[in-house]
A and B are shown apart, each in its own frame.
Chain A
């Protein structure tokens, strides 16, 4: 498989959110604005990229039976690094994402890629795969965040288009479910037409 296919599958064909429906908690929880979605996506991308690289480097040394706890420790280390970095440099974003930053550890997408891809492939392919999957995830979060921000507060990336509030529902919890449902339905439709 050439590296371009390897990279682009994470963004389109095997998109984590729209196709595989993985990592739903942060997808729904933090996408109240496009900026938050972008921040969360990039944090996850970093963890995904680094843990994929490390897992593919140490895959020969880890006994099969303890591989899942070993992967979790690797992932948790990078999550802690991200946590500390974000707390230091983007404290506002850190406060807004709150609980969902430590919860990157249990994002099924990250562990899923370690188990399904990085443990079977070399370092370069794993890095490319991690980057592609991460950017696909970021794109999905950014799209959902943009839609919710536009409908919910009539703004995009903090720039206001209308006076007053939008449809408040989309900023609140129910809006997240409904917006994501329609996005997945549209993606299903597009994918079926292409197939």
Chain B
């Protein structure tokens, strides 16, 4: 039951993009085409789950016993950067097809604040390891949901006549605002 609550709340109630404002850069940057946002979601989900589990283990088995919690930021970002590289290399060898699909999005993930954000949030919320895995996976799905929703709307916006100054990024933000308003309706869910 607990896992279901974590799952639902991470996707809908506390949606990482629309309620927590993490991962806005890829949200606005790659959301002009549906295809790219699906690719991005796959890459993010992949890295986010692995990164959260690895940083979780580092926090509780290295940083905490040595009481060097203040090194959290540096350690986590380095782990994520290294992990992204590693995933890229392994993927290239093991599954060239998947690498073809996700390849260009992988380097961008290092600077995706959602990945580091989820790693830190997991520690702050005091989840245990299975909870952390569920939380990170659900967060990635929430990210994907927001991205796919926005990109499908932006695709149809290309055909609409909107004021010149609002074209592109401003109108994307307005849609994001309305989406975020809609997602607030889920607040009573859990």
The one of A72, A73, A103 that contacts B117, using a Cβ cutoff of 8 Å: A103
Residue B153 interfacial (CB < 8 Å): no
How long is the Cα–Cα vector from A70 to B103 in the complex, in angstroms?
23
B74 contact set on A, CB distance < 8 A: 73, 76-77, 80
Q: Fill in one digit per residue for B79-114: 1 if any A CB lies within 8 Å of its CB, else 0.
A: 001100000000000000000000000000011110
CB distance from B12 to the nearest CB of A (A): 13
Chain A residue at smallest Cβ distance from B19: A173
A28 contact set on B, CB distance < 8 A: 21, 24
Task: Say yes or no: B177 contacts A181, CB within 8 Å.
Answer: yes
How long is the Cα–Cα vector from A79 to B74 in the complex, in angstroms?
9
Number of B positions contacting A (CB below 8 A): 42
Number of A positions contacting B (CB below 8 A): 41
How long is the Cα–Cα vector from A28 to B177 in the complex, in angstroms?
11
How long is the Cα–Cα vector from A103 to B111 in the complex, in angstroms?
10
How long is the Cα–Cα vector from A142 to B144 in the complex, in angstroms?
31
Interface residues of B in 1-24 (CB under 8 A from A): 18-24
Task: Say yes or no: A184 contacts B170, CB within 8 Å.
Answer: yes
Q: Fill in one digit per residue for A98-127: 1 if any B CB lies within 8 Å of its CB, else 0.
A: 010011011110010000000000000000
Residue A83 interfacial (CB < 8 Å): yes
Q: Would you give 10 A-B contacts (Cβ < 8 Å), ordered by A?
A: A22-B25, A28-B21, A76-B77, A80-B71, A105-B77, A106-B116, A176-B21, A177-B174, A178-B177, A181-B174
